[in-house]
Copies of this chain bind each other. A is one copy, B any other.
Amino acid sequence: MPAQISLVVDRLPPAAAIARARPWLKDSPSARDFVSRGSAPLSHYEPDQEIFGEGDRAEAVYKIVSGVVRTCRFLSDGRRQIEAFLLPGDLMGLEAGAVWTLSAEAVTDCTVAVYRRRQGESFSLEDESLTPQLLSYAMRSLARARSHMFLLGRRSALEKVATFLVNWSDRAQNGQSCTLPMTRQDIADYLGLTIETVSRTLSQLERDKLIELPSAREIRLKDREALREFNI
């Protein structure tokens, strides 16, 4: 397990990194607002580094400033379910209890702002000025968890993959073409499929001329409407 060395940095990552044409590396305006008004310390993580682990004490809430994070749960037999991919501006770590019920890991290089929780029976942050925002964040997380739930139950591989592509490209808006920062394994674990099935399904969507795959991590949605129809 990676040691907790030099995780906390006191500045944003170099502009050069942000300048690359990877939208999830840019810090969002809302994240910037959030950061600039408070004195929340920033932490930086490298790909696949753990941000927090299921079972550890949950002592903070995190806001993604730049990069992509995945939250997930591991089963004892090695299966992994990814709960969500988080982008700049997203909040993570709203836990009712004092212990993480899931893990968070960096997908790409990423920076997160840390807001410490107050000790006590009910949920609150040390910086009380953020409390009013928490309910709306919680409701947004709930809505996302629900739509992910609906995607996992009794949907075909085609429906799952097509819906994932549309949702991802909507969130990481970069027009027609979108870059996937996550591996096929990540997508599979997010959709409750295997890498082989994800790969086959992408190939089929390409044969059917709904998408183009210039490279494995680069996807052009050629017929967004047709893809959207797989959702429902």
Residue interface bits A4-23, CB-to-B below 8 A is 1, else 0: 00000000000000000000
Residues of B within 8 A of A145 (CB): 142, 145-146, 149
Indicate whether A171 reaches chain B with its CB closer than 8 angstroms. Answer: no
A contact residues, total (Cβ < 8 Å): 36
- In the complex, the chain B residue whose C-beta lies closest to that of A154 is B192
Contact between A101 and B232, CB atoms less than 8 A apart: no
Chain B residue at smallest Cβ distance from A160: B153
Contact B96 A139 (CB under 8 A): yes
- The listed residue with most B CB atoms (<10 A of its CB), out of A81, A102, A134, A148, is A81
Are A232 and B76 in contact, with the CB atoms below 8 A?
A: yes
Write the nearest CB–CB distance from A5 to chain B, whole angstroms. Answer: 30
Q: How far is the CA of A16 from the CA of B123 in the complex (A)?
A: 40
The answer, yes or no, to whether A224 is at the interface (CB within 8 Å) is no
- A79 CB–B CB distance under 8 Å: yes
Query: Which chain A residues numbered 106 to 156 have a C-beta less than 8 Å away from chain B?
Result: 122-123, 134-136, 138-143, 145-150, 152-154
Q: 0/1 per residue, A197-228, Cβ < 8 Å to B?
A: 00000000000000000000000000000000
Taking a contact as CB atoms under 8 Å apart, the answer to whether A154 and B81 are in contact is yes
Q: Is A95 an interface residue (CB 8 A)?
A: yes
Q: List 8 A-B contacts (CB under 8 A).
A: A77-B232, A96-B139, A134-B135, A135-B135, A138-B142, A152-B152, A152-B153, A153-B192
